[in-house]
């Protein structure tokens, strides 16, 4: 797998939740910056070493959908608006 897709929604109690499509990965955070970091950590925990995808997309839905490409590189999350 080269890429994984996360759908992001606002949580009813505040903040954001992200869930991977096609994998059982869920995470949450108070803001989008923290969410990127939490997604990276969740991906690393879910997959065996060397099996994690190299990148992912974090997509939101709603009135103004946004999409970010996230690279899981060298322990850092590199987010770029798409």
Q: pLDDT tens digits, residue range 4-20? A: 888 998 899 999 999 99
Q: Which of 63, 62, 55 is closest to 6 using CA atoms?
A: 55
Q: What's the predicted TM-score (pTM) here? A: 0.73
If you count them, how many residues does the chain have? 82
CA dihedral of residues 41, 45, 51, 54 (deg, nearest 10): -10
Residue 60 confidence (pLDDT): 77
In this prediction, residues 49-63 reach a mean pLDDT of 78
Split at pLDDT 50, 70, 90, the class of 58 is: confident
In angstroms, the Cα distances linking 57 to 6, 12, 40, 68 are 6, 23, 11, 6
Q: Which of 6, 14, 11, 61 is closest to 36 using CA atoms?
A: 6
Going by their DSSP bridges, the two strands 55-60 and 3-10 should be labelled as: parallel
* pLDDT tens by residue, 23-54: 999 999 999 889 988 998 999 899 988 888 88
């Amino acid at each position: 797998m080269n890429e994984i897709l996360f759908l992001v929604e606002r949580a009813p109690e505040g903040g954001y939740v992200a869930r991977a499509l096609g994998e059982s990965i869920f995470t949450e955070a108070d803001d989008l910056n923290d969410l990127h970091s939490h997604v990276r950590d969740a991906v690393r925990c879910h997959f065996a070493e060397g099996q994690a995808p190299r990148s992912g997309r974090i997509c939101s839905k709603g009135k103004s959908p946004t999409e970010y490409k996230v690279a899981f590189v060298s322990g850092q999350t590199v987010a770029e608006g798409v």
